[in-house]
Amino acid sequence: MNSVLGMGNALVDVMTRLEGDKTLRDFKIPKGSMQLVNKEFSNRIMASTVGLKKIQSSGGSAANTIHGLAHLGLKTGFIGKIGHDNLGKFFEQDMKQNGIKPVLFHDLEETGRSIAMISPDSERTFATFLGAAINLKEEDLSSDIFSGFQHFHVEGYQVQNKNLVRKALRLAKSHGLIVSLDMASYNVVAENVEFLESIIKEYVDVVFANQYEAEVFTAKKSKEALRELSKYCEIAVMKLGVEGSLVKRGSEECGVGIVEVNTIDTTGAGDLYATGFIYGLCKDQPLDRCGHIGAVCSAYVTEVVGAKMDEERWEIVRHKIEEVMAA
């Protein structure tokens, strides 16, 4: 059975529907931004939004990707760190209920959370308290965690702990796993270019990057950025938003379009693209089909608020993927 293990920041997403933008003004948070905040600031936002409609789900980039793969029927696991609190219990239960094997370590710090404030015009503003998530350490990792998996997926947000990432990649490779990395954020890339260069060359088989991340990493523009990125790894994937994606492996290069849907919220679109692409790889699909499956997953998650689809929508996605693989 195909199996994928992920590692990332274990966060609980708290999707909060605002009645206006007063909360953003009160807390001086730029609308549409993504801010890292401390615990006290996060608690004040939570207190000020009591009574508003909220949806809670396990989150974090790699966790979203793994969640998607579990819904496509693969054996999955997730490595992260949570606190001894209700949000931590929620995160663990949410993983188990979705068929994901939780490899979760506990910390004295509270569980990380990302408060996504959705304005009436659908604009999303994030206030993220990383909490226990960033205290995952290299000492937590042991060789046996990687046993029984075929693929290891890690999010770029983890590179703030270089020793952790390097050990995880080394252990994954010692077990013969295919390794994929989602670059996650262009500012993360900009601050860690040299480190990313070294680990990608040594350990990483598949790199997911949006155009900005690829350009920052390679110091080249557009398709040249993709070609330069592909020199570091076996498969380079550059996501282009509404223009689809470009995929390159050796001399093979293909463009993939988008799937037209009724988009209401783009949260998790990149994470779910990785879900589809990795699923295609696990099923030995050609590159263009891997990209197309990624586009299907990426598109349908934008029809819901947050990064988690309901089972009805997953049924549609699974059917669409079958069509792509049968074409």
Query: Closest Cα to residue 160, out of 178, 187, 179, 141?
Result: 187
Q: Please give the Cα distance from 150 to 131 (Å, whole number).
A: 30
Residue 219 is part of which domain span? 3-8+59-110+131-326
**Structural domain includes residue 41:** no
Number of domains present in the structure of the chain = 1
Q: Please give the Cα distance from 247 to 290 (Å, whole number).
A: 9
Q: Which two tokens stand for residue 265?
A: 């919220």
Q: What is the pLDDT along the chain (327 residues), one digit of tens a residue?
A: 699 999 999 999 999 999 999 999 999 999 988 889 999 999 999 999 999 999 898 999 999 999 999 999 999 999 999 999 999 999 999 999 999 999 999 999 999 999 999 888 878 898 999 999 999 999 999 999 999 999 999 999 999 899 999 999 999 999 999 999 999 888 889 999 999 999 999 999 999 999 999 999 999 998 999 999 999 999 999 999 889 999 999 999 999 999 999 988 788 899 999 999 999 999 999 999 999 999 999 999 999 888 899 999 999 999 999 999 998
Helices (H), 55-192: 61-71, 86-97, 162-174, 186-191
Query: Closest Cα to residue 188, out of 222, 221, 165, 220?
Result: 165
**Structural domain includes residue 272:** yes
**Structural domain includes residue 177:** yes
**Structural domain includes residue 220:** yes
**Structural domain includes residue 23:** no
**Structural domain includes residue 35:** no
CA of residue 186 relative to chain centroid, distance? 14
**Structural domain includes residue 216:** yes
pTM for the model stands at 0.94
Q: Which 3 state secondary structure label does DSSP give 150?
A: coil
CATH number reported for the structural domain that contains residue 191 in this entry: 3.40.1190.20
**Structural domain includes residue 138:** yes
